[in-house]
Amino acid sequence: MAPDTDVPAHYRSGTPLIAVHDAPAALDFYRTAFDARPLARLEAPDGRIMHAAILVYGSPIVVADEMPAVGLFSPRHYGGSPFSMILACQDADAAHAKAVAAGARPLAPVQDDFSGARHGLLECPFGHRWLTTSRTEDLSFDQINERFHAWLAAGRPVRLADTD
């Protein structure tokens, strides 16, 4: 296994690489909606973004235009995204509102939950889902587990978003 020093500074193990249908527009949106800071950018002669590393709330994310030749497709190709990215931030309400103002579609309002956090779910104009979250209480895993089971016993659904 290679030592951690071999990993470029703008990566972490597990850095997501997301494909979009218009990377230049997506990068502009992420800058406006999430205060994304550019770290690296490789542009092909035809203008496609092959690799653009950005920093969002302290976490690196790589954005690229779709590349069908290598099987890299955006959520548009699949009819949606099968996963959500968590954006841990100081103020989930403000982050959620800013992203919606920039053009994101709210999927679930920011609300408190059993985990001692506030969460809100949204979808960016490029089909990716983002969960804004901020801690409201410092709880142990045992406390979260206890609250979770009480939440289930109260008949609350294990469903965050109503995407109808």
Q: Give the whole-angstrom CA distance, residue 111 versus residue 162.
A: 14
In Å, how far are 16, 19, 84, 143, 161 from 103, measured between CA atoms? 22, 18, 17, 36, 18
Residue 72's pLDDT is 94
pLDDT in tens, 33-81: 999 999 999 999 999 999 999 999 999 999 999 999 999 999 999 999 9
Residue 76 belongs to some domain of the structure: yes
At residue 122, the 3 state secondary structure works out as: strand
Structural domains in the chain (count): 1
Closest to 62 in 3D by CA, of 49, 70, 53: 53
Please indicate, yes or no, if residue 161 is contained in any of the structural domains: no
Q: What angle do CA 8, 86, 137 make, to 5 degrees?
A: 115
What the block records as the tokens of 56 is 């969002």
Taking each continuous run of H as one helix and of E as one strand, the counts in the chain are: 4, 8
Q: Determine, yes or no, domain membership for 159.
A: no
162 in any annotated domain: no
Tokens (6 digits) for 105 = 């579609």
Q: What is the pLDDT of residue 82?
A: 86
Q: Is 25 inside any structural domain?
A: yes
Q: CATH number for the domain including 136?
A: 3.10.180.10
What amino acid occupies position 138?
Answer: D
Pick from 57, 54, 29: nearest CA to 133:
57
Q: What is the residue range of 113's domain?
A: 4-153
114 inside domain: yes
Mean pLDDT, to the nearest integer, of 123-135?
96
Kindly state whether residue 32 falls inside one of the protein's structural domains. yes
Residue 163 belongs to some domain of the structure:
no
pTM of the entire predicted model: 0.84
